[in-house]
Structure 1
Amino acid sequence: MSKKLKLKGLDCANCAYKIENALKKEGFESASVNFATGELTIEGDIEKAKNIVKKVDSGVEVIEKEEHHHDCHDHGEDPKKMLYFIVPSLILFVIGVLLRYYYNYDNIFVFGIFVVGYMLVGWKVLRNAVVNSIHGNVFDENFLMTIATLGAFAIGEYPEAVGVMLFYMVGEFFQNLSINRSRKSIKGLLALKADYANLKIGDKTIKVKPEDVKVGDLILVKPGERVPLDGLVIEGSSTVDSSALTGESIPRVVKEGDELLSGILNLNGLLTVKVAKELKESTISRIFELVENASARKAKTERFITRFSRYYTPIVVGLAVLIATIPPLVFGEPLSNWVYRALVLLVISCPCALMLSIPLVYFGGIGKSAREGILVKGSNFLDALGKARIVAFDKTGTLTKGVFKTVQIVAKNSFNKDEILKFMALAEAHSSHPIANALKEAYGKEINENEIKEHEEIPGYGVRAKINGKEIMVGNDRLLHKFNIEHDTCHVKGTVVHVVVDGEYAGYIIISDEIKKDALETIQELRKLGVKKIVMLTGDSKDVAEEIAKKIGLDEFYAELLPEDKVNIIEKLGAEKENGTVVFVGDGINDAPVIARSDLGVAMGALGSDVAIETADIVIMDDKPSKLPLGIKISKKVQNIVMENIILILIVKLSFVLLGALGQVTIWGAIFADVGVALLAVFNSMRILK
């Protein structure tokens, strides 16, 4: 079983990669460091993992976390504490510069001022550099900054040595502020988690922790309180705000018999709720865990940046060594000049700008999507969403509301309407499909299950049941042909359910379903976003599918499909996708096979559904198809910011490496190339949160 560990003091993205890599080399098959949340997820010996983490980065403190427990106030170390060292160091730096350059003092006292100023901001870097080097972890930013600044002291450039370390720490300060902001934006979801539950015991109500409430217990949810656990309303009615979960801004009314999800805000009435799930299985806990763990599934760009930095830093360090040694040894050039150039390269070479800003963009994109009611289970899926070229929709509950109403009952032979309606309702008694619900609602009477002796589901066709000694079959037209039932109603316009009694055709019922308001808008937006083909896959009749396809402007539709037919069509569409992604959007329950088979499976309107959360790559938390183009827009914005950061960082870094080798850049310029460009990239990354 996986275990979460908190990595307190993890402020280096490159170190996060090194910790993860070291754990895997030491035999941990499952090891993932989430830099954005400062957490390590492993399967294996925790003490062994702690020792490995300490070897990689001695400045990181490993803290065990209780499973499923998240502290919404825990955002790591407070970056403002760094100011206690930065401000005095800055004051001493200014004094030292004034004494040396304005008053022309250059003695042991001035040297001491610079040393004290240096140690205030550099002691932690020096310590980590020594300890990490002993453990064989060379070429991290601590080592690079230590060599560069001590080298500057060695050639008498005290102000530059202190300035490099001081402004490096100022950069770290602003980076940590940005990281904390990103972490808070995700952990802010935990504000949805109630601190207590009002447990009802007899006539009394007591406040308890949500984790102490069991399935089947009764809880009261008062006006102004958040629902602590998933459950069913058994008494009362109220208006609730589910915007934080689903992105739906309009409050809705709940009443007796309605499902209530944890995290929803009760606005006015008093509700009595029967608990359906324990805290760790409740919606808000699962949402947070999905979002928090999403960073473990890295996008291709993130993986490339990780590999790139592995080679980039040693190459630049090797180049610095050559620059410092070859010209003085071969051409007799002044040693101090070329050492200075080498130090400039060392300052520039730190890979943290890339290692920090790119994961931060993806993490922010996942958080942004979650706040819009779109759960993305990994950076790789967020990337794939932006490359959608073919989108296939299920019909019922996805493009249509899935709320069916009986509009016509037609009896055949010697049967009457009441009989066939009763047979249908009894046969569908154990089904939760929207069509079955419509039939039971039309029957309107209490179903006596003692009348049902046998029940068999026939996937893709319908159901067969034994009712009062009669064999009843209820289903689509394919069911009639499968069992060779004589009938004269093959082409009825609309969604049709047929009934057969003891092998004799008894009649049919026509039911209607309404297209969702935003379905047409969704199709139009997808086309604007570059989707080349939009199709619909449905088990419903060809006539119904054709009518809906025309109304909302689909390119193609496939009707009267069995579950395996949908999988086959998705596989065929995959051959047409070119270099993009085939996306399937379904309800996440009866479309699980095709959701799993598509390049990107999206579960629509399936919040709280175990099947949806397990199978889909993306879960849209309400039933609005318009959330799909919104997700694509977020994905494309993430991709744009990532490319902006990569281009900005590489152009600046490589330009300064070249200029540094030619002696055209001072260490102050190198500081901009390192800290400055890192800050620009991080601030650019934060745009995704807006």
Structure 2
Amino acid sequence: MKYTLILENLNCAHCAGKIEQAIAETDGYEKVSFNFATKELRFESEKKNPAAEIQQICDSIEDGVTVKETAVKEKKKLKTEHVLLIIALALGVAALVFHLAVHNEFADIAVFALSLSATVLAGWKVFVKGFKNLIKFRIEETVLMSVAVIAAFILGEYVEGAMVTLLFTVGELIEDFAVDASRRDIEKLSQIRPDTAIIIHHGHEEEVAAESVAAGEIIVIKPHARIPIDGVVVEGSSTVDNAALTGESIPVAVAVNDEVLSGGINGDSLLKIRTTKAFGESTAARILQMVEDAAAQKGKSEKLISRFAAVYTPIMVGLAVLIAVVPPLIGLGTFSKWIYNALVVLVASCPCAIVISVPLAYFSGIGAASRQGVLIKGGKYLEALATAKNFVFDKTGTLTTGKLRVAKTVSLSDYSEDEILSLAAAVEEYSSHPIARAICREANAADITLSNFSETAGRGTSAQYEGSMLCCGSYSGEVPSNAADCNVFLTLGGELIGAVKVADTVRDESAEVISQLKSLGAQNTVMLTGDSEAAAKSVAAEVGVDSCRARLLPADKLSAVKSLDGGVCFVGDGINDAPVLTASDCGVAMGLGSEAAIEAADAVLSSGTLHALPKAVRTARRTMRTIRTNIIFALAVKAAVIVLACFGLAAIWMSVVADTGVCVICVLYTARLLKIRK
């Protein structure tokens, strides 16, 4: 069975990683994944009630973590620990004033009493946690902080011990607020899926759980309400704002027989829709599932940081031991001095800033992209999109709309172009071929009498017209140069009288999107299609791709993608694109239509247009820049404090800034990603 549990009060990403690893290494648990941003723990297990065992694992690693089946929203209130911290800050400031301004025996006693009181009030939870971790032989920041503060008091540095405790506690509080704020922004994504729906029951409106509504039922969407399930309008007309789904800010008009997607917001009029999917299969539910599942697909940087933390911490502990022992042994100072410096190194070296900010950046970037209309299935695909140099497109349904239209009509006789098109439509009237339907849609109505209709597969249609045979379709004779690019020819009594070019419609945004990708540094834009050479070259010239290849089977497309050097982003829409979507570094599916394409793709353009692709590339690159900046900044500050400590020039308060202070800055810097505009 698949389980999803919520781990409340877990704000330490380093500890979260340990919990995830411990559960994964426990017999009976598979596919374990913890999402630090949403606090969701997912796994598969045959155990009937695993929550109790999960709670035991959490308790063995991190005190205070509560395992729950659903998230609980807590009301914001001033906690006792916050009141104690305010009192401790006042006592700490008083101790500092006495220490700086008054110099007598009474002042020394007052400084000691005030510093000790401030330290106990502000840091008692840290010390209790540190003591428990020490008993478990787990050396982490609470142990290091506790040892550093106790050492400061033993060395007579009462005010410094108090200030370090206050600084650490305030930093932890700000860090928790910053992480919680980011989590709240991420949780806003879940608002696109209403949990209830209004159905008509025995002539009355009744609000029920959306998941209980089956496909084919009629539901009521009131003005300004969010649509809970995909469906088709059966009564009413309105506008629907799909910004949360597609990133498009302009509401679309809908009327009877128009499709509407769950997650969209109804305009000013009441709608009744017939549901076409179950709640869990609707667009909003699938979007949320993709975004939530993305956390399990960790990027290379995220995996590297996890491995880095495992190696980095023992190295720092070893360095601290050397700093504490070697200098005094060779006569460079007292043991107390170098033990103090070693404590500075240990506190400063804590990797929490990186371990928290990197996964948070990935999830924030994925969340921002989803609001822009691009669903990215994981961190590694976000990386691939950010580094892609080759952007490869399918033609039909991707760069084009997939809808045929009459692009050109040529008269090769005394008939006018309008008459040629009308004659072609008349003889094609009973054909179901897509080209025939396109001609019939665009021809002007004309009073043309035909008889003896017939159709030959691959050749076209024919009928009797004014005593002669009128044929519409292929032509084997010589074609004039002005009709060379046409693909439908009209003959009357065997004589060529006109020609029509029926072509796919290029998307309005295709040329602009290709131009934007080139401005973003795309080294190669390619179009691959199974269509004819002439059709391919025409579309390629119109949209501005660097190169194109035509008459390709799916296997040929696959070979073409594999032959490209550098990262490849392939954009396609059809079932026949599934192999190429899977093989490319980042496969992007057009819209939420083809199930095969969506399953094979690494990202989905939920609007079904190309508009959001350049936005997604920018968001992916900004996310990767944020990650690199956080890593470089955190390591640089830590390295500076550690080097100063090696020379005996750093104080413990500096190490607290290098640990908690840097973590707060990294989390706040990462939170910018959630504010990326649509």
**TM-score higher than 0.5:** yes
> What is aligned with 1:511?
502
Counterpart residue identity of residue 517, structure 2: L
- Write out aligned runs for 1:311-460 (5 A): 311-331=311-331, 333-405=333-405, 421-424=429-432
> What is aligned with 1:598?
584
Counterpart residue identity of residue 9, structure 2: G
Contact 1:79 1:177 in 2 (8 A): no
- Write out aligned runs for 1:127-526 (5 A): 127-136=128-137, 138-331=138-331, 333-405=333-405, 421-424=429-432, 473=457, 488=476, 511-526=502-517
1:349 is displaced (CA, Å) by 1.4
Distance 1:569 1:267 in 2: 46
1:279 is displaced (CA, Å) by 2.1
> What is aligned with 1:529?
520
1:602 is displaced (CA, Å) by 0.2
Structure 2: 5+ residue runs without aligned partners? 411-422, 445-453, 461-472, 490-497
> What is aligned with 1:126?
127
Percent identity (aligned): 39
Deviations 1:295-352 (A, max 9, x none): 2222111211221121222222222222223334453832321221122112211111
Distance 1:365 1:297 in 2: 14
Counterpart residue identity of residue 2, structure 1: K
Change (3 A) 1:668 1:262: same
Contact 1:496 1:510 in 2 (8 A): yes
Contact 1:494 1:511 in 2 (8 A): no
Contact 1:394 1:536 in 2 (8 A): yes
Secondary structure in structure 2 of the residue aligned to 1:156: coil
1:665 is displaced (CA, Å) by 1.0
Number of residue equivalences = 627
Distance 1:657 1:209 in 2: 57
1:225 is displaced (CA, Å) by 1.0
TM-score by length of 1: 0.83
Q: Does 1:540 align with 2:531?
A: yes
> What is aligned with 2:652?
667
Contact 1:148 1:346 in 2 (8 A): no
Secondary structure in structure 1 of the residue aligned to 2:402: coil
Q: In structure 2, which of residues 610, 617, 639 is the aligned counterpart of residue 654 of structure 1?
A: 639
Q: Does 1:38 align with 2:46?
A: no
Counterpart residue identity of residue 37, structure 2: A
Contact 1:495 1:512 in 2 (8 A): no
Change (3 A) 1:115 1:495: farther
TM-score by length of 2: 0.84
Change (3 A) 1:135 1:230: farther
Counterpart residue identity of residue 43, structure 1: E
> What is aligned with 1:683?
668
Secondary structure in structure 2 of the residue aligned to 1:398: helix
Counterpart residue identity of residue 633, structure 2: L
Change (3 A) 1:116 1:42: farther
1:106 is displaced (CA, Å) by 5.6
Q: In structure 1, which of residues 570, 579, 582 is the aligned counterpart of residue 568 of structure 2?
A: 582
Distance 1:421 1:150 in 2: 93
> What is aligned with 2:543?
552
Counterpart residue identity of residue 341, structure 2: R
> What is aligned with 1:463?
none
Change (3 A) 1:493 1:212: farther
Change (3 A) 1:195 1:22: closer
Distance 2:436 2:343 in 1: 75
1:671 is displaced (CA, Å) by 2.2
Counterpart residue identity of residue 42, structure 1: F
Change (3 A) 1:330 1:495: farther
1:108 is displaced (CA, Å) by 6.3
> What is aligned with 2:60?
55
Distance 2:10 2:78 in 1: 12
What RMSD in Å do the two structures reach over aligned CA positions? 3.4
Secondary structure in structure 2 of the residue aligned to 1:325: helix
Q: Does 1:92 align with 2:91?
A: yes
Q: In structure 1, which of residues 617, 628, 631 is the aligned counterpart of residue 613 of structure 2?
A: 628
Secondary structure in structure 1 of the residue aligned to 2:233: strand
Q: Which has the larger radius of gyration?
A: 2
Counterpart residue identity of residue 129, structure 2: N
| Worse-superposed segment, 41-50 or 53-62 | 41-50
| Worse-superposed segment, 344-353 or 620-629 | 620-629
1:536 is displaced (CA, Å) by 0.6
Deviations 1:574-632 (A, max 9, x none): xx22xxx111101154422221121210012x136533432210111113323222111
Contact 1:230 1:276 in 2 (8 A): yes
